[in-house]
């Protein structure tokens, strides 16, 4: 592939290299054959946090990837790139152990006519030779690329696909926060949400007291004249109100008439939005689904 082709290749906003191995080797957490993805043209759930061991890969998954990104599908047992996919969605959930997990959903864009042995081309292109995904070292599942590396990789593969348009909804969407995602991201979202609610109430003349350290089932005590409200604040990194609420918080909703649930959407953006519900309104407004259970060993006399 000529340097001219490399310079004119249309580069996606973000290109990631995603390596799968179909051999199911002992050191692998999971195995997979890209043929399963490219055999159809529909969205497919493919990989996620439970299939990755590398800290670098998990960081990319939780902190950097965004729906609309493009993925170079690399089959390590073939030592070749086999096609391009688009990341259409990132779905967060809590597993049976109460751990946050993230699934990836991919849509095939282009399957190369023949697997491309990119490693064999490194000697002719210093950009490819320096690409992290093509260097030796501890194996990862996901690899980042620079714009220059992305252009060189696409050119080397002879990719014909034009850059997929990233839907506006995908650009806005983030499912971090609300108890999902990694703990650091959750704390940032929660802190931003509480600060926003505090500012909104103080601007309206309420006196705001933090009750977070008291573990009472709500975050802020707000008072104004003879009125008192107990605010449980939830923040999300998305426009959708979806979050984890503990059993203690649900009990508070059901027993405390002064309780108000405040949800701050897009908490880390420049324009967060606040919605709130009185205690009596919460269970009508939300479907409360248990995501985990407390298991305690039975005693002999309990059986």
Assign residue 205 a region: left if phi > 0, alpha if psi is -120 to 50, beta otherwise?
A: left
Q: Domains of the chain by range and CATH?
A: 3-165 (3.10.590), 183-285 (3.40.1350.10)
Pair 132, 79: CB distance under 8 Å: no
Pairwise CA distance, residues 104 & 89, whole Å: 6
pTM of the model: 0.52
| Chain centroid offset of residue 218 CA | 27
Cβ partners under 8 Å of residue 212, min gap 6: 194, 219
Q: Does the pLDDT value for residue 170 go beyond 50?
A: no
Smallest CA-to-CA distance from 253 within 223, 228, 224, 231 is with 231
What's the mean per-residue pLDDT of the chain?
Answer: 80
- pLDDT tens, residue by residue, 17-48: 999 887 765 655 556 789 988 887 678 888 88
pLDDT at 5: 38
Cβ partners under 8 Å of residue 144, min gap 6: 16, 60, 64, 132
Please, which pLDDT band fits residue 248 given cuts at 50, 70 and 90? confident
Structure tokens at 63: 């902190």
- pLDDT tens, residue by residue, 257-302: 999 999 998 888 778 889 999 998 988 888 776 665 666 667 665 5
- pLDDT tens, residue by residue, 116-153: 998 888 777 888 888 888 887 677 899 999 888 988 89
Pair 111, 82: CB distance under 8 Å: yes
- Dump the DSSP string for 245-281: --HHHHHHHHH-TTEEEEEEETTTSSS-EEEEEEHHH
Instruction: Say how many CA atoms lie within 13 Å of 39 toward its Cβ.
Output: 4
Please, which pLDDT band fits residue 167 given cuts at 50, 70 and 90? very low
């Amino acid at each position: 592939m000529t340097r001219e082709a490399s310079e004119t290749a249309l580069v996606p906003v973000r290109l990631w290299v995603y390596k799968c191995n179909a051999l199911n080797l002992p050191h692998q957490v999971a195995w997979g054959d890209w043929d399963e993805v490219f055999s159809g043209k529909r969205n497919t759930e493919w990989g996620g946090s439970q299939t990755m061991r590398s800290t670098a890969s998990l960081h990319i998954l939780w902190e950097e990837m965004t729906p609309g990104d493009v993925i170079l599908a690399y089959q390590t047992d073939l030592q070749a790139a086999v096609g391009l996919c688009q990341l259409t969605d990132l779905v967060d959930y809590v597993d049976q152990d109460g751990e946050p997990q993230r699934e990836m959903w991919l849509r095939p864009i282009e399957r190369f006519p023949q697997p491309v042995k990119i490693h064999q081309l490194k000697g002719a292109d210093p950009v490819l030779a320096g690409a992290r995904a093509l260097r030796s070292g501890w194996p990862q599942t996901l690899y980042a690329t620079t714009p220059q590396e992305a252009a060189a990789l696409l050119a080397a593969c002879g990719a014909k696909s034009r850059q997929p348009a990233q839907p506006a909804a995908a650009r806005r969407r983030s499912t971090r926060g609300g108890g999902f995602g990694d703990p650091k991201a959750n704390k940032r979202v929660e802190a931003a949400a509480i600060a926003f609610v505090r500012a909104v109430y103080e601007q309206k003349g309420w006196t705001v007291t933090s009750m977070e350290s008291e573990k009472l089932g709500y975050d802020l005590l707000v008072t104004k004249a003879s009125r008192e409200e107990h605010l449980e604040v939830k923040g999300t990194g998305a426009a959708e109100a979806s979050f984890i609420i503990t059993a203690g918080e649900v009990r508070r909703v059901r027993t405390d008439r002064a309780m108000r649930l405040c949800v701050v959407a897009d908490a880390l953006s420049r324009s967060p939005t606040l919605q709130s519900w009185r205690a009596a309104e919460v269970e009508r407004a939300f479907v409360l689904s248990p995501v985990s259970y407390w298991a305690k060993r039975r005693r002999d006399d309990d059986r």
